[in-house]
């Protein structure tokens, strides 16, 4: 199948790997830890507010948490968690990326967790079709 249209055909896509740092420990003493699994869960919940409350209704924007990895056993709270996050938007790319980083940092601050590490993936820019060619 081949398709074409005038103007924007595909929106930009940005991906990030985010490392959340905690303080691990035994599950019987959670009060002595900073739980990165709980932190990651809070971030997933909060990220949904970016699209629903910061992007105009009718504008295209999607933010997705594709994976969360942390720990290896049931009785130990791990010392870090890694998340992959994908943001896709045509008109709100900068707002989406700035917002997601702000939300992640705010949750880390609220959890007394150190500054998160953001590793950008390879971005895919917006595909704009030359109107004269279509």
Domain residue extents for the chain? 10-124
pLDDT at 89: 84
Task: For 88-118, write each residue's pLDDT tens digit.
Answer: 887 888 999 999 999 999 999 999 999 999 9
List of residues 6+ apart from 104 with CB closer than 8 A = 18, 20, 43, 116, 118
Residue 10 confidence class, pLDDT cut points 50, 70, 90: low
**CATH number at 10-124:** 3.30.70.360
Q: Cα separation of 134 and 132, whole Å?
A: 6
The answer to whether 61 touches 88, Cβ cutoff 8 Å, is yes
Task: For 35-49, write each residue's pLDDT tens digit.
Answer: 999 999 999 999 999
Tell me 31's DSSP state: G
pTM attached to this predicted model:
0.83
Q: Cα separation of 73 and 61, whole Å?
A: 36
């Amino acid at each position: 199948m081949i398709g074409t249209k005038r103007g924007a055909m595909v929106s930009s896509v940005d991906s990030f790997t985010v490392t959340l740092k905690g303080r691990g420990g035994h599950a019987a003493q959670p009060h002595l830890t900073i739980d990165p699994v709980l932190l990651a869960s809070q971030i997933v919940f909060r990220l949904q507010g970016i699209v629903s409350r910061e992007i105009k209704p009718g504008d295209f924007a999607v933010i997705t948490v594709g994976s969360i990895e942390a720990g290896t056993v049931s009785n130990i709270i791990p010392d870090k968690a890694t998340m992959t996050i994908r943001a896709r938007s045509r008109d709100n790319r900068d707002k989406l990326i700035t917002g997601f980083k702000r939300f992640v940092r705010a949750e880390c601050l609220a959890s007394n967790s150190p500054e998160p590490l953001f590793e950008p993936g390879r971005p895919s820019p917006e595909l704009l079709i030359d109107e004269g060619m279509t």
